[in-house]
């Protein structure tokens, strides 16, 4: 293996190392996987308008998210079942994110519990939540996350049912028997059908509440003091409702293209959501980020920061904690270089005039 020069190279290594069922679970999208490809390709259609002859000898990438200061606007997205990728799983990801001075979001379907992740040491951590039919289970999860020092809830709202991921159907995906969804161990889950061969994992997936609505965002606010980010918004209409519901922020996400196929790439939906939010709450982007240039493009279109998912899991599979550290370092270095070459020394300098989207190119050029 030669030197890894960009985060995308980890995917091929992960494919060699992982059992097919695990690799396909992480890599695949819904149905035709059009959105999966588009999440990446839409970034490639956005061009730069760099400014020159600006002193870029000092560059500051620091920012704050919900009042928490971080070293860069690049955070770790929630990805389930990380111990399928590497025995250290979420422990490694938590340590790597903390070392990079950034936020890790723990999946509620993690193979390590909130308490175990908290035990890895200091770090700013958010907890991703699915709302289950049994609200007592939700309350138990939220209270445990809060006790373990987690700072915010990323409420996933695009999953009333799981999307159709055909690779998982073909592989008859089940969580390997030596692993479990640790956050659900020891919870009062009511009656559980133990007869099912994948036990807890399939039970938990079947418990997602299809009646979830905006009133439940209010309910969640009544049981926790943690701020709530609404994850899974791709339209202006829902952005306005998220603001109205009292959400602390929005994560523009299509669930890594794993839910509804033929929704726009998140980078394509971003500007519509940002405009609808009108600066009242921050908007973050999740999905398709593989380069520092992608981070810059998202910020230029109004994102306050980005979350990265699959590259973290593939690097974890390839090299454990060192791989995750390397992914965060490479994205950081590429982003810093993009800022310098675009003539930006702080995140506040990055604005809409630095990029040219397809829509811009279709409009007549204004006389300057």
Residue 78 annotated as lining a ligand binding site: yes
Give the Å distances, CA to CA, from 362 to 119, 365, 366: 53, 9, 12
354 is catalytic: no
Displacement of CA 143 from its chain's centroid (Å) = 22
**Distance between CA atoms of 88 and 317, rounded to whole angstroms?**
10
CA-CA-CA-CA torsion for 106, 110, 116, 121, nearest 10 degrees? -30
Q: Is 309 annotated as a binding residue?
A: yes
Q: Which of 142, 129, 270, 145 is nearest to 207 (CA)?
A: 129
156 is in an annotated binding site: yes
Q: Of 86, 132, 255, 354, which is the active-site residue?
A: 255
Identify the three-state secondary structure at position 128.
strand
80 is in an annotated binding site: yes
Binding site annotation covers 253? yes
152 annotated binding-site participant: no
Distance CA 13, CA 338 (A): 27
Beta bridge partners of 231: 156, 251
- 300 among annotated binding-site residues: no
Is 289 annotated to bind a ligand? Reply is yes
Q: How far apart are CA 252 and CA 217, in angstroms?
A: 17
- 34-44 vs 292-300: helix axis angle to the nearest 10? 80
165 appears as a binding residue in the annotation:
yes
258 is in an annotated binding site: yes
Question: Locate tokens 């020891």: which residue?
Answer: 186
Report residue 299: phi and psi, to 5°. Answer: -65, -40
Measured distance CA(331)–CA(82) in Å, rounded: 21
246: annotated binding-site residue?
no
128 labelled ligand-binding? yes
91 is in an annotated binding site: no
286 among annotated binding-site residues: yes
Q: Which residues are annotated binding-site positions for glyoxylate? A: 25, 165, 255
Q: Which residues are annotated binding-site positions? A: 25, 78-80, 107, 128, 130, 156, 165, 231, 253, 255, 258, 286-290, 309-310
Active site residues: 255
Q: Which residues are annotated binding-site positions for FMN? A: 78-80, 107, 128, 130, 156, 231, 253, 258, 286-290, 309-310
């Amino acid at each position: 293996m030669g030197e890894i020069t960009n985060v995308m190279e980890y995917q091929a290594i992960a494919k060699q190392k992982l059992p097919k069922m695990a690799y396909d679970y992480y890599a695949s999208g819904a149905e035709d996987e059009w959105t999966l490809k588009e999440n990446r390709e839409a970034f490639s259609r956005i061009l730069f308008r760099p400014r020159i002859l600006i002193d870029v000898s000092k560059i500051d990438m620091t920012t704050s998210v919900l009042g928490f200061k971080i070293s860069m606007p690049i955070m770790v997205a929630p990805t389930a079942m990380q111990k399928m990728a590497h025995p250290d799983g979420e422990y490694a990801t938590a340590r790597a994110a903390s070392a990079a001075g950034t936020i890790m979001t723990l999946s509620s379907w993690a193979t390590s519990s909130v308490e175990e992740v908290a035990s890895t040491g200091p770090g700013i951590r958010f907890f991703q939540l699915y709302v289950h039919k049994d609200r007592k289970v939700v309350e138990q999860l939220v209270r445990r996350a809060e006790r373990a020092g987690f700072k915010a809830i990323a409420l996933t709202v695009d999953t009333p049912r799981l999307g159709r991921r055909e690779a998982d159907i073909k592989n008859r995906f089940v969580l390997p028997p030596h692993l479990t969804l640790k956050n659900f161990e020891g919870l009062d889950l009511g009656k559980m059908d133990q007869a099912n061969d994948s036990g807890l994992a399939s039970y938990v997936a079947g418990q997602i509440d299809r009646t979830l609505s905006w009133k439940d965002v209010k309910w969640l606010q009544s049981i926790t003091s943690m701020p709530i980010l609404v994850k899974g918004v791709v339209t202006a209409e829902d952005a306005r409702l998220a603001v109205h519901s009292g959400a602390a922020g929005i994560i523009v996400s299509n669930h890594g293209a794993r839910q509804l196929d033929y929704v726009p790439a998140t980078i394509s939906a971003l500007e519509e959501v940002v405009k609808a939010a009108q600066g009242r709450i921050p908007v973050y982007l999740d999905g398709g980020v593989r380069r520092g240039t992608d981070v810059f493009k998202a910020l230029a279109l109004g994102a306050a920061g980005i979350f990265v998912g699959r590259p973290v899991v593939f690097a974890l599979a390839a090299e454990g904690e060192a791989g995750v550290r390397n992914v965060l370092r490479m994205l950081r270095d590429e982003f810093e270089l993009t800022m310098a070459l675009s003539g930006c020394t702080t995140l506040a300098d990055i604005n809409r005039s630095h990029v040219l989207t397809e829509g811009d190119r279709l409009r007549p050029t204004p006389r300057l």
